[in-house]
Chain A
Amino acid sequence: MAKGEILAGFLAPHPPHLVYGENPPQNEPRSQGGWEPLRWAYERARKSIEELKPDVLLVHSPHWMTHVGHHFLGVPRLSGKSVDPIFPNLFRYNFALDVDVELAEACAAEAAESGLVTQMMRNPNFRVDYGTITTLHMIRPQWDIPVVGISANNSPYYLNTKEGLGEMDLLGKATRRAIEKTGRRAVLLASNTLCHFHFHEEPEIPEDMSCEHPQNYAGYQWDMRIIDLLRRGRTKEVFELLPTFIEEAFAEIKSGAFTWMFAAMDYPEIPAELHGYGTVIGTGNAVMEWNLARLAEAARGQAA
C-alpha cells in the first residue's frame, strides 16, 4: 500500500444560510439567494476538490459537541433529515453519506495511542449534525466521496484554550498518521467561522443582504489580520496570536477544527488561497485553501 497523504486543507465554515441561499434539492426551504460572495468562494473550492480527486473528506465540526472524548462516525452509511435547531427555518436537509469507517477507526486508534479519549459512533439512527452536513455540501454537493466525521470534544471550554487546543494538536497529528498508514489521499475540512459575534435577531427576509455586515468592527479587524497573515504563509505567527484572537473576537476556531487541520498538515508556512470572505448574521467566514498537493508537484517540477 502506498503511503497516504494529505492533499489539502480547507477552512470551510458551516453557516446553514449558504445551503439555504443555494436552494439545492436536498434542502426544503426555498430562498431568493443571498450570501453570494461566500457561495462563489465555495464554487472555487469545489473546483479544487474536483482537481484533487481525494479518496476521502475529513471534517471536524463544532456542532457535534461531545463531553467524553473525541468521537468518530463509525457507521458505513448514514441518512436522514438534519434540521438545524437554531435555524430550522433555513436548514432542513435530507442527507445520505458514506463513511470511511476504516480510516475513522485508524484515526481513533492513533489518537488513543496519543493519550486522547476516543470513541466510535456505531448507532445507525444517529443524526449527523448540521455543521458537518453544511460544510460537506458546500465543498462537494455530489456526496460521492466518503467522509470521516469528527466531533468537537469540549476540552477547550472545559479545560482552557491552551490545554484544549493542545488536545487538538495531538488529534491532528494522529489523523495524519492514520491517513499515511491507510494509504488514503485525503482532504481536511476545518468547519469553523472566524469572528463569531452575531446579531441576535434575523431580518424578516433572512436573505435580505441589506441587513448583512460585520456585527463587530474589532472582530472584523481581527479577521482581516488573521487572513492577511495566512495569505502570507505566516502560520507560526497566527498560532502565537490564536488565543488572543479567540478571546477578543469570540472566534469559533476555539472549538478546535482549525488547530486539528494545521497540526495534521504539520503547520505549513505556505500562503493560503483565500477563495472568499463574507459575513453571515454578522459572523466572519473565510473559505481558504492550503493545497499541499500542488506544492509538492511544484517541488517535484523544480527538482526535475
Chain B
Amino acid sequence: MPIVAAIILPGLPHPVLKPEISAWAQIAAASAAAGKALAAARPDSLLIYSTQWIAVLDQLWQARPEMDGIHVDENWYELGDLPFHIRTDTALAEACIAGTAEIGIRSKPVDYDSFPVDTGTLVAQHFLNEDAALPVVSTSNNLYHDWHKTEALGGVARSVAEKTGKRVAAIGVGGLSSRMFRAPIDPHTDHFAEPGDDAANRALLSRFEAGDCDGVRRQSADMAAAMPTDFGLKHLAFLLGATGGDFKGATVHGYGPIYGTGAAAVELHL
C-alpha cells in the first residue's frame, strides 16, 4: 500500500501560536496525537494539500529542495510568527507534476526563494514534522478545481506513490464549517458561529468514523451547498482520492471551534 497514512488537520494557526487557550489546546493536542499516529505508519514522505495555498493558473507543486523562514499570517499576525524549515521530496513532486498531465490538469513546479508558503502547510509541518525529518510534497488549492477534479488529483498522487514504491502519508489541511466571527472575541469563550454548523460538522465526522466514503462525499456536498465551508472541503476530496476512498473508519483525535469555524484532527484507518 503506497499511502500508509491519511490525516485531516485544521490549518488555522491558533493551536500552534496560542495553545494556552483551552479550546485551541485540545485541537493542538489532537493534532499532535494525529502526528504520533502518522509516525507509527513510518512514511517516507508527506503529501500535503492545503486549502490555504491558493492557485489560479495551473496546479502548483512546491519544488524547492529546502525552505527556511519566518511566516506571518496576514490575518493572525498578532498571535506571533511561524518559523519553519521544510525539505521537499523533489523527485516525488516532479512525478506528481508529470502525472497530472494524464488527467488533463496542467501543473507547474514552484522553486523560488521567499515564496510565501501558506499557513496551513506550516501548521501541518509543525504538528507532523517539526524537525523536518521527513521530506514533503505540498500542493495548492486551485480555485477553479471542483470536488471531482480535486479527488482526481489525489488519485494521481496515489498512483504516482505506487510507481515510486515510497510509503507516503497524505495530509488534507483545512477546516470544516468556515463561518467565522467577524468581530474580535474572547478566545476563552470560543464556540461555533452557528449551532447548525456544529451539527453538520459532527455528521460529517461520523461518516468518516463509519468508513462511509460515499457518505462523506454526500455530506460534504450538502454542507458546501448549505453553509460556508473551507473551500468546499476540497482537502477531503484530495484525501479520498489519495486513499482511493478505501478507508475502514477513522479516529477523530479532537474536534472543536477555532474562531467560530469547525476544526478537527482526524486519522483515517486504511
Interface of chain A residues 184 through 225 with chain B (CB within 8 A): 198-202
Instruction: Give the CA-CA distance A81 to B112 in the complex, in Å.
Output: 11
Q: A121-B77, A123-B78, A200-B144 are in contact. Are A83 and B184 (CB under 8 A)?
A: no
Which A residues are in CB contact (< 8 Å) with B70? 125
Q: A83-B115, A121-B77, A122-B78 are in contact. Are A198 and B106 (CB under 8 A)?
A: no
Instruction: Give the CA-CA distance A240 to B75 in the complex, in Å.
Output: 32
Check B113 against A123 for contact (C-beta < 8 Å).
no
Which B residues are in CB contact (< 8 Å) with A126? 72, 74, 77
Which one of B78, B112, B118, B259 lies within 8 Å of A83 (CB-CB)?
B112
Interface 9-residue window, one of A32-40, A59-67, A265-273: A59-67
Which A residues are in CB contact (< 8 Å) with B165? none
Q: Is B57 located at the chain interface by the 8 A CB criterion? A: yes
Which A residues are in CB contact (< 8 Å) with B110? 88
Which A residues are in CB contact (< 8 Å) with B53? 85
Q: Is B190 located at the chain interface by the 8 A CB criterion? A: no
Q: Mark B56-98, 1 if CB is under 8 A from A, else 0.
A: 1110000000000010101101100100000000000000000
Check A68 against B184 for contact (C-beta < 8 Å).
yes
Interface of chain B residues 174 through 225 with chain A (CB within 8 A): 180-184
Q: Is B54 located at the chain interface by the 8 A CB criterion? A: yes
Which A residues are in CB contact (< 8 Å) with B184? 68-69, 117, 119
Instruction: Give the CA-CA distance A126 to B72 in the complex, in Å.
Output: 6
Which B residues are in CB contact (< 8 Å) with A80? 114
Check B182 against A66 for contact (C-beta < 8 Å).
no
| Main secondary structure on A side of the interface with B | loop
Q: A68-B183, A117-B184 are in contact. Are A201 and B57 (CB under 8 A)?
A: yes
Which B residues are in CB contact (< 8 Å) with A155? 182
Instruction: Give the CA-CA distance A64 to B259 in the complex, in Å.
Output: 19
Q: A121-B77, A122-B78, A123-B81 are in contact. Are A86 and B112 (CB under 8 A)?
A: no
Check A198 against B56 for contact (C-beta < 8 Å).
yes
Check B75 against A66 for contact (C-beta < 8 Å).
yes
Instruction: Give the CA-CA distance A66 to B112 in the complex, in Å.
Output: 25
Check B54 against A158 for contact (C-beta < 8 Å).
no
Which one of A67, A68, A86 lies within 8 Å of B57 (CB-CB)?
A86
Minimum CB–CB distance from B190 to chain A (whole Å) comes to 13
Check B115 against A68 for contact (C-beta < 8 Å).
no
The residue of chain B having its C-beta at the shortest distance from the C-beta of A153 within the complex is B182
The residue of chain A having its C-beta at the shortest distance from the C-beta of B117 within the complex is A85
Q: Is B25 located at the chain interface by the 8 A CB criterion? A: no
Q: Mark A109-140, 1 if CB is under 8 A from B, else 0.
A: 00000000101011101110100000000000
Check A68 against B75 for contact (C-beta < 8 Å).
yes
Interface of chain B residues 121 through 155 with chain A (CB within 8 A): 144
Check A69 against B72 for contact (C-beta < 8 Å).
no
Q: Is A254 located at the chain interface by the 8 A CB criterion? A: no
The residue of chain B having its C-beta at the shortest distance from the C-beta of A66 within the complex is B75
- List residues of chain A with CB under 8 Å of any chain B CB: 64-69, 80-81, 83, 85-89, 92, 117, 119, 121-123, 125-127, 129, 151, 155, 158, 198-202, 281
Given contacts A81-B113, A85-B54, A86-B54, 9 further A-B contacts (CB under 8 A): A68-B259, A83-B112, A83-B113, A85-B118, A92-B114, A122-B77, A199-B57, A200-B58, A201-B58
What would 28 A/B residue contacts be, using CB atoms closer than 8 Å?
A64-B74, A66-B74, A67-B180, A68-B75, A68-B180, A68-B183, A80-B114, A83-B112, A83-B113, A83-B116, A85-B116, A86-B55, A88-B112, A89-B112, A92-B113, A117-B182, A117-B183, A122-B78, A123-B77, A123-B81, A125-B70, A125-B81, A151-B74, A198-B56, A200-B58, A201-B58, A201-B106, A281-B57
